[in-house]
Amino acid sequence: MLTAVVLAALLAGVWLAAAYRENGSRAILLPDQVMTLFPAPKPLAAFAFKDHEDRVFDLSRLKGKWSFLFFGYTHCPDICPTTLATLARAHENIAKSTAGAKDVQFVFISVDPNRDTASKLRQYVTYFDTTFLGVTGGDAQLGNLAGQLGAAYQVAVTRGMENYPVYHTAAVFLVDPRARYHAVFAPPLDAEGISRRFQVLRELEGPKAT
Amino acid sequence: MRWRHPVFAALMSALFALAATAEEAGISVRDAWVRETPPGMTMTAGYMVLQNKTSRPQVLVAASSSAFETVMIHRTVARQGMTGMEHSPQVELPPNASLLFAPGGYHLMLLNPKRTLRAGDRVEIRLEFRGDLVLLVACEVRK
């Protein structure tokens, strides 16, 4: 029944997600405007980035963990630091929960590899949270993963222009421990909104997802 | 308090006089803050609540600060599922209304800080309105 409601809402193009209710052991996710939950999570195909330690960051690095993915760039004074600070607080909340945050990772994907070197990314993401990962790759690889997630971005690299414009989605994508695109959080984001819904989702999916 | 150098003293009184003009004209600012700069970064943003207590529209036309090389009025806008920044050459404050400079919307884009800013520091930003009104805003640096 719930699945039917969720599916109907999705088909109707309604932003879904989650007011939640906990009844002792029972928790359910209901439609709301913060999180869109996909009834049939979409398995992701191979991609290849490098992380801020210069290690390969590919599909295998998404397996066995819930991954929060955010696309941005470091020369971004407003949305990116705001979102990373929000995600850092969401991470704190999740870490304080009974299930903890051992099975969770936060990945900042730079769409501006031209300026965002590994060392720049390391300095930047670890400032917000020492466990955050910064990754990036070439245009083809960025387009590959962004395309799989429906994440829009546009970089207008301009010769001789230091602060060229970059446009990117402000959504946060949630990939489950089987490397399937499972849910998306729509802006404006708040830490409690994210962590509460995630904890219910993880509890519901726990045994199935891993 | 006495200013030692007469020229400096004159300059300061002139500045305060100008600032007072804007206050008297009925524009005020509260909750002004600047985001601490992440290490290695040369830009950050400033936020505040601007209030126009007059019955006329007021127009913010420029901003500057001795703490940054460049200050620009920007707005984060959404288009085609993406957000990006746009330069706003001027911002109109409607009569008897507040305008929010907040994450995800209007903000002051602060480029090339002259020193590293840490949470708890204070920086001053100068706002210029049409009609030669100037407002000096003390901003707290926050993480």
Residue A170's SS3 state is coil
Range of the domain at A188: 34-209
pLDDT for the residue numbered B4: 59
In a domain, A163, yes or no: yes
Flag whether B123 is in a domain: yes
Contact state of B44 with A169 under an 8 Å Cβ cutoff: no
From A197, A144, A168, select the one nearest A78 (Cα to Cα).
A168
Residues of A with CB under 8 A from a CB of B: 74-75, 77-79, 81-82, 85, 120, 123-124, 127-128, 152-154, 163, 165-170, 187-188
Domain assignment of residue B23, yes or no: yes
Is residue A22 situated within a structural domain? no
A13 found inside a domain: no
Is residue B94 in a domain? yes
Neighbours of A159 (CB within 10 A): 5
Find which of A78, A127, A129 to mutate to test the B interface (most B CBs within 10 Å of its CB): A78
**pLDDT tens-digit map of B43-88:** 999 999 999 999 999 999 999 999 999 999 999 999 888 999 999 9
> What band does A7 get if pLDDT is binned at 50, 70 and 90?
very low
| pLDDT category of residue B14 using cuts at 50, 70 and 90 | low
The yes-or-no verdict on residue A13 having pLDDT over 60 is: no
β pairing state of A104-110 and A133-136: parallel
What CATH number does the domain containing A161 carry? 3.40.30.10
Domain assignment of residue B32, given as a range: 6-142
In a domain? residue A20: no
Residue A141 inside a domain? The answer is yes
Which range, of A168-172, B5-9, B98-102, averages the lowest pLDDT? B5-9
**Three-state SS at A4:** helix
Contact B84 A166 (CB under 8 A): yes
- For position A51, what pLDDT does the model report? 98
Mean predicted lDDT score pLDDT of chain A: 87
| B31 is a domain residue | yes
Interface test with A, best of B36, B42, B68, B83 (most A CBs within 10 A): B83
Chain B: residue nearest A85 by CA?
Answer: B143
- Residue A169 covered by a domain: yes
Question: Which pTM was predicted?
Answer: 0.85
- Calculate how close chain A gets to B110, using CA atoms only, in Å: 8
In a domain, A11, yes or no: no
Domain assignment present for A5: no
- B1 within some domain: no
Q: Given A82, A123, A166, which is nearest B103 (Cβ)?
A: A82
The residues near A141 (Cβ < 8 Å, ≥ 6 apart) are A47, A48, A49
**Cβ neighbours of residue B81 under 8 Å, at least 6 residues apart?**
A152, A169
Could you give the number of structural domains in chain B?
A: 1
Q: How far is CA A88 from CA A95, A194, B73, in A?
A: 10, 11, 28
Sort out which chain B residues have CB atoms less than 8 A from A36's CB and list them: none
**B22-39 confidence digits (pLDDT tens):** 666 699 999 999 999 999
Is the CB of A169 less than 8 angstroms away from the CB of B82?
yes
CATH of the domain at B65: 2.60.40.1890
B115 in any annotated domain: yes
Contact A170 B83 (CB under 8 A): yes
